[in-house]
């Protein structure tokens, strides 16, 4: 717990005794560990990568031997963060972990198909803020769908442990929170989010430097690809649904497509009158990764769940097999039903 020399934590929007108990249980379990593997979901976004790096710095300071794993490694846009050279894309054959700390996902298949059984430690702990999750996945959960980012929960755990947040740790947490709240614009941004961000600035984060690293250093190829993808834009006759598509023919072999196309869907959602934007990305064979973004009135996690996926109220996804025209029709029919129930009912 906080020592007399540790600054008090910011006032959270709504005290949550269950969450505090979950945090305390996690801290007790981690304190008993000598070795921990920190993992995040494949195709990592800023929250997954920032939280992974922050957890690594924190646990090492607590005296643990820590490995960091992500199947797809570190996207170029986050390479400036401290500790990225520590992230593995494979797990040593001899590895044995007391605990696996799973960050920003609540379903085991999100870690990637190549994840070995030895990666799961004697105890598996999930820290996540998604609305969809697997109850039978982990031994312990720290979960709050109202948190702005997984890093917000991790910040709370770090501060609850009494550990001081230095500049390196603050940079990782700030990047995670900033990207997952859309630069503090999305509806998951709360007063707590701003309070935590303020504390991270006090710890040494330069907000303009972070903005430049994340949003003012776009590779030329990303802008070229954006032009191609926007050519596929279509909007439903009633103006409430927008679609984008990313075909294999648009990208070159070996390109990090997920990284290059991250946030393209927001252009479709920004169109006046659009309630839900959908993006289809060709991934393998007849499989398409489908991403949903809502303006806030429609819970797209319910939509994604109908197709075997999951996510948040305003951001979710799934994988669907079939030709894109058929997938689009399936999605349109389902979306129109949801719109009738949630908006027109």
Q: What is the DSSP string of 57-113?
A: HHHHHTT-EEEEE-TT---GGGTTSTTGGGEESS--TT---SEEEEES-SSGGGG-T
Neighbours of 184 (CB within 10 A): 14
Cβ-proximal residues to 310 (8 Å cutoff; 6+ apart), any chain: 107, 130, 131, 132, 133, 301, 304, 316, 317, 318
Residue 154 CA to residue 88 CA, distance in Å, equals: 21
Counting every residue written for the chain, the total comes to 345
Partners of 294 in the β-ladder: 276
pLDDT at 16: 75
Give me the architecture of the 221-344 domain, per CATH: Roll (3.10)
pLDDT at 296: 85
Superfamily of domain covering 17-215: inorganic pyrophosphatase (n-terminal core) (3.90.1640.10)
Check if the beta carbon of residue 111 is closer than 8 Å to that of residue 42.
yes
Helices (H) and strands (E) counted in the chain, each on its own, are 11, 12
Question: Please, what is the end-to-end C-alpha distance for the chain in angstroms?
Answer: 49
Residue 36 CA to residue 142 CA, distance in Å, equals: 17
Which residue ranges make up each domain of the chain?
17-215, 221-344
pLDDT at 3: 41
Average pLDDT by stretches of 10, the chain with 345 residues = 47 71 96 97 96 98 96 95 96 94 94 92 95 87 94 97 96 97 90 96 97 92 95 94 94 86 93 96 91 91 90 90 92 87 68
Beta strands 123-128; 99-103: pairing state:
parallel
Residue 252 CA to residue 231 CA, distance in Å, equals: 18
Using alpha carbons, select from 149, 155, 158, 159 the residue that is nearest to residue 184.
149
Using alpha carbons, select from 279, 218, 281 the residue that is nearest to residue 249.
281
Q: Is 242 helix (H, G, I), strand (E, B) or coil?
A: strand
pLDDT at 294: 93
């Amino acid at each position: 717990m906080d020592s007399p020399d540790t600054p008090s934590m910011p006032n959270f929007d709504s005290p949550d005794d269950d969450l505090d108990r979950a945090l305390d249980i996690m801290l007790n379990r981690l304190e008993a560990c000598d070795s921990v593997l920190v993992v995040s979901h494949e195709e990592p976004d800023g929250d997954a990568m920032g939280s992974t790096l922050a957890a690594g710095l924190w646990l090492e300071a607590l005296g643990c031997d820590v490995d960091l794993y992500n199947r797809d490694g570190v996207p170029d846009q986050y390479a400036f963060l401290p500790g990225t050279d520590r992230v593995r894309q494979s797990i040593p054959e001899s590895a044995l972990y007391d605990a696996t700390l799973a960050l920003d996902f609540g379903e085991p298949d999100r870690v990637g198909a190549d994840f070995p059984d030895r990666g799961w430690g004697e105890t598996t702990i999930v820290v996540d803020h998604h609305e969809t999750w697997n109850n039978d996945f982990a031994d312990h959960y720290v979960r709050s769908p109202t948190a702005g980012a997984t890093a917000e929960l991790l910040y709370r755990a770090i501060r609850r442990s009494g550990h001081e947040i230095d500049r390196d740790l603050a940079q990782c947490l700030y990047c995670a929170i900033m990207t997952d709240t859309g630069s503090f614009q999305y509806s998951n941004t709360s007063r707590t989010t701003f309070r935590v961000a303020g504390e991270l600035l006090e710890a040494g984060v330069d907000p303009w430097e972070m903005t430049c690293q994340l949003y003012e250093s776009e590779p030329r190829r990303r802008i070229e690809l954006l032009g191609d993808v926007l050519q596929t834009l279509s909007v439903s006759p009633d103006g409430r649904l927008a679609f984008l598509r990313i075909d294999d023919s648009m990208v070159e072999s070996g390109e990090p497509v997920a990284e290059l196309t991250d946030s393209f869907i927001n252009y479709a959602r920004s169109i006046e009158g659009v309630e839900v934007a959908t993006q289809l990305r060709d991934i393998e064979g007849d499989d398409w990764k489908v991403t949903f973004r809502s303006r806030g009135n429609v819970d797209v996690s319910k939509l994604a769940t109908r197709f075997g996926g999951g996510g948040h109220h305003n951001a979710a996804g799934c994988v669907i097999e079939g030709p894109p025209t058929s997938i689009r029709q399936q999605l349109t029919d389902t979306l129109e039903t949801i719109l009738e129930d949630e908006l027109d009912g």
